[in-house]
Structure 1
Amino acid sequence: MEFRLTEEQRALIAPVRRLAQTAFRERARRWMDGTFPWENLRDLARLGVLGMSVPEEYGGLGLPVFETALILEEIAKVCYPTAMAVLGEAGVQTRVIARYAPESIRARILPAVCAGECILAICMTEPHAGTDVASYRTNAVRRGDRWVVNGTKTLISRAAEAGMFVVFTRIEGRPGREGIGCVLIERGTPGLEVTGTFHTMGGENLHEVQFRDCAVPEENLVIREDGFRRLLSAFNTQRCLNPAISLGLAEGAFDEALRYVRERTVFGHPIADFQGVRWKLADMFKDIEAARGLLYRACATANPFPDPFLAATAKVFCNEMAIRVTSEAVQLHGGFGFTDEYPVSRLYRGARYGSLGGGASETLRDLIGKRLVGPDGPGPDGILGLGCF
C-alpha cells in the first residue's frame, strides 16, 4: 500500500492550492452575503479544473473521483461558498449529463461547464420530501414530442445562477422509487421560476424552484427507466465530494488555530505552551487524519462510482469530524473566534452543512447498519470491506 500522493496528483493540486491560499483567502468574506463567487470560478476555469468531471473529448480533465476530491479539499480550506459552487460543476449533475444525456446536449453544455459559462443546479429536495425520494410529487408527462414538467423543488444550490437544471422527477405519474427519472431544463424555459431565497449560515443562498407546465424537447429526458438506482449510483460520488469539503474546512480551521496559538500569548507564554491546548490540537489532528484515511479509501473504490458502503461511512465521519474540529478552532481563538475578523467562524458555519446535504447522517447510519446486520455483512474473518483498501 502506498499512502503518498503521486507527483502527478501533487502537480494537479499545487496551482489550486496557491490560488486558494492567496486570492480566495483574500476574497473569502466577500461571498458571505450570498453573492456568487463568479470571480473565483473564472480563476479556476483558467486553470482548467472546472472541467475536472467532464470527459476529455468535451474539453474537460476527466478526473477520477479521488483527484476531484483533492481539488475540492484545497478550495474548502479557505472558502466554503466557492467550494460549494465548484461542487455544482464537479458533482453528480455533471456526471449525469456526461453519462446519460444525448450527444447534442453533451456537446453544447459540457464545454460551457469547463469554461465556467454554464452553472448546473441539481433539483432533488421537495418541500415535503428530501431523503424520501419515493414521495416526490414533481412529475413529467409526455405531450406530443415534448415532456411537460410540473412541481416544486426547494433548498436548491446555485439556482439563481444556473444555466441548466438537472431535475429528478416522477415520470408519467409512476408511483414509488421505480417511477423516478431525470429531465434537463434550461434557464429561460417558460414556466421555470426561481422563487424563494434562503440565506444560509455558511454564506451561500439556496432557492425554491417552481416548474409550471415546463415543456422541454424529448431528448431532455435523460433517465426514464431505473432512475432511482442510477441516481443512487451517481450520488455515491457526491458522498465522497461532500466530505472532501468537510475535510478541507477542518484542515483550514486547524491551520488557523495552530497559527493563532503559536502567536497569541497569555501570562507571558504562547497559548501553545499549555498542555490543555496541545491536547486539543492533538485530538483535532487525529480526527482529521482518520477522516482523510476513510475518505481517500472510499474515493479509491470508484469505478466509475464509489462503493456505497464506504462512501456512506466516510461521509458520516468526515461531516461530524469537521463540526468538532472547526468548533475547537473557534474555542482556541477565544472571543475572537466568535467574530467575523477571523476565518474560523466562517469555516465553522460552513462545516455545519455537510451532515445535512447529500444524505443526512441519520439516513446513512441506517444504511451502514443494515449492511452490517444483513447477508452482505462481515464474513468469516469478521472484517467487512478489507478488500477495498
Structure 2
Amino acid sequence: MEFRLSDTQRALVGSVRELAQGRFRQRGLRWMDGTFPWENIRELASLGVLGMSVPEEYGGMGLAVFETALVLEEIAKVCYPTAMAVLGEAGVQTRVIAKYAPESIRSRILPQVCSGDCILSICMTEPHAGTDVANYRTNAVVKGDRVVVNGVKTLISRAEEAGMFVVFTRIDGKPGREGIGCVLVERGTPGLEVTGTYHTMGGENLHEVQFRDMEVPLENLVLREDGFRRLLTAFNTQRCLNPAISLGLAEGAFDETLRYVRDRTIFGKPIGDFQGARWKLADMYKDIEAARGLLYRACMTADPFPDPFLAATAKVFCNEMAIRVTNEAVQLHGGFGFTDEYPVSRLYRGARYGSLGGGASETLRDLIGKKLMAEDPGPDGILARGYF
C-alpha cells in the first residue's frame, strides 16, 4: 500500500498550509468573539478551495472527500472558526445541492459557493430533536407548485451569513423516517427569520432559524421520496470532514507544544528534557498517527460517499483523540496554556465541538456496535470486512 500523497495532493496541501501558517495563524484570536472570518474566506476563495466539493462544470475543483479532508486539516491546525466556515462550503450541504438540486439552482448557486459569495448553512437540529432526525417537527406541505414550511431549527452555523439554507424537514406531515426530506431556502425568502444567537466556546456563533408559513417553489424540494436514506448517505461525508478538523486541531496543538517545551526552561533545562513531558509527547503523537490512519482509510472509501461504518469509527476516535491531545497541550504550557494569547487554548476549545456535531459519539458507538452484532464475520473474521 502506498502512504504517500501524490504530487497534486502535495501541491494543494502546500498552498493551503502556506496561507494558513503565514496569515491565518496570527489572526486566530480575531474570530473568537463570533466575527465571521470573511478575510480568511476570501483568501481561500482565491485559491479555489471553497469549490472543493463543487463539480468542475460549475467552476469547482470536484475533489474527492480525501483531498477535502486534507485541506480542512491544514486550516484547523491554526484556526477553528475558519475551518468550520470552510466546512460549510465543502460539506454535505454543497454535495446535496450538487447531487440532488435541479439544474436551475445548481448553475446559479454553485459558482457563488466557489467564489465565496454564497455561504451555505445546513439546518438539522431542532429544540426537541438533534440526532433523532425521525422526530423532527419542522414540516413542509406541498400545495400545487409551492411548498409551505413551518418550524424551528436551532444551533445553526453560519445562519447570519448564509445565502442559502439546506433544511431537513418533514414532508406533508408524514411521520417517522420515511417522512424526512430536504428543502432549499434562499436568504430573504418571506417567512424565514434568523433569531437567537448562541456564542460557543470555540468562538463561532450559532443561531435559531424560524420558518413561518414560508413558501418556496416546488423545485426547491430536492429530496422527497427515500429522502431520509439519501440524506444520511450524503451525511457520511460530514463524518469524515468533521474529524478532519479534529485531527488538524490536535496536530496544531502538538506543533505548538513541541515548540514551547523546547524553548521554555524550568530548573535550568527545557521542559521537554523531563521524562514526564516526553511521555506526554509520545502519547500525543501516537494518538494523532492512529487517528490519521483511521480517518484517511475512511475517506478513501468514498464513492461518492464514505463507508458509514468506517466513517463513524474514524469520527469517534478522532473527536476524542483531539480532546485528549489538546488537553495535554494546555497542561504542558502550564498557566500560559490557559490564556487566550497562546493558540493551544483556542485549539482546546474548538476540539470540544467534534463529538457533539455530525453525530454524537454515543450515537455512533451504538451504530458501530449494532453493525458488529448484525454482521456475519465469515471465515476470515470481522476485521476482514472487505477493506483489505
3-state SS of 1:181 partner: strand
Match of 1:112 in 2: 112
Match of 1:384 in 2: 383
Match of 1:12 in 2: 12
Distance 1:132 1:51, change over 3 A: same
The answer to whether residue 243 in structure 2 is matched with residue 221 in structure 1 is: no
Match of 1:66 in 2: 66
3-state SS of 2:302 partner: coil
Matches within 5 A, 1:72-87: 72-87=72-87
Match of 1:41 in 2: 41
1:52-86 CA deviation, whole Å, 9 max, x = no partner? 00000000000000000000000000000000000
Distance 1:136 1:386 in 2: 34
Shift of 1:377: 4.6
3-state SS of 1:387 partner: coil
- Do the aligned partners of 2:37 and 2:82 also contact (CA within 8 Å) in 1? yes
1:277-300 CA deviation, whole Å, 9 max, x = no partner? 000000000000000000000000
- Do the aligned partners of 1:297 and 1:388 also contact (CA within 8 Å) in 2? no
Match of 1:92 in 2: 92
Aligned AA (2:44): L
- Do the aligned partners of 1:195 and 1:208 also contact (CA within 8 Å) in 2? yes
Matches within 5 A, 1:102-141: 102-141=102-141
- Do the aligned partners of 2:29 and 2:341 also contact (CA within 8 Å) in 1? no
Shift of 1:6: 1.1
Match of 1:287 in 2: 287
Shift of 1:386: 4.5
Distance 1:302 1:388 in 2: 12
Shift of 1:388: 2.0
Distance 1:12 1:337 in 2: 31
- Do the aligned partners of 1:319 and 1:354 also contact (CA within 8 Å) in 2? yes
- Do the aligned partners of 1:151 and 1:211 also contact (CA within 8 Å) in 2? yes
Q: Which runs of 4+ in 1 moved over 6 A?
A: none
Distance 2:275 2:37 in 1: 40
Shift of 1:13: 1.1
Shift of 1:332: 0.2
3-state SS of 2:281 partner: helix
Shift of 1:158: 0.3
- Do the aligned partners of 1:72 and 1:83 also contact (CA within 8 Å) in 2? yes
Shift of 1:144: 2.8
Distance 2:260 2:380 in 1: 46
Aligned AA (2:237): T
1:67-107 CA deviation, whole Å, 9 max, x = no partner? 00000000000000000000000000000000000000000
Shift of 1:215: 0.3
Match of 1:344 in 2: 344
Shift of 1:197: 0.3
1:100-147 CA deviation, whole Å, 9 max, x = no partner? 000000000000000000000000000000011110000000123210
Shift of 1:210: 0.1
Distance 1:271 1:27 in 2: 27
Distance 2:134 2:270 in 1: 56
- Do the aligned partners of 1:377 and 1:384 also contact (CA within 8 Å) in 2? no
Match of 1:163 in 2: 163
Match of 1:25 in 2: 25
Consecutive unaligned residues in structure 2, runs of 5 or more: none
Matches within 5 A, 1:188-267: 188-267=188-267
3-state SS of 2:86 partner: helix
Match of 2:184 in 1: 184
- Do the aligned partners of 1:265 and 1:271 also contact (CA within 8 Å) in 2? yes
Distance 2:82 2:256 in 1: 19
1:11-38 CA deviation, whole Å, 9 max, x = no partner? 1111100000011011111000000000
Output the TM-score relative to the length of structure 2: 0.99
- Do the aligned partners of 1:326 and 1:348 also contact (CA within 8 Å) in 2? yes
Consecutive unaligned residues in structure 1, runs of 5 or more: none
Query: Pairwise CA RMSD of aligned residues?
Result: 0.7
Distance 2:203 2:379 in 1: 48
- Do the aligned partners of 1:54 and 1:95 also contact (CA within 8 Å) in 2? yes
**Number of residue equivalences:** 388
Distance 2:192 2:274 in 1: 58
Shift of 1:384: 2.8
Identity %: 85
Distance 1:378 1:45 in 2: 46
Distance 1:377 1:159 in 2: 44
Output the TM-score relative to the length of structure 1: 0.99
More deviation, 1-10/343-352 = 1-10
3-state SS of 2:155 partner: strand
Distance 2:238 2:71 in 1: 14
Shift of 1:313: 0.1
Shift of 1:165: 0.4
More deviation, 312-321/140-149 = 140-149
3-state SS of 2:237 partner: helix
Distance 1:42 1:29 in 2: 18
Match of 2:305 in 1: 305
Match of 2:373 in 1: 373
3-state SS of 1:34 partner: coil
Match of 2:328 in 1: 328
- Do the aligned partners of 1:140 and 1:170 also contact (CA within 8 Å) in 2? yes
Distance 1:362 1:160 in 2: 30
Distance 2:40 2:14 in 1: 16
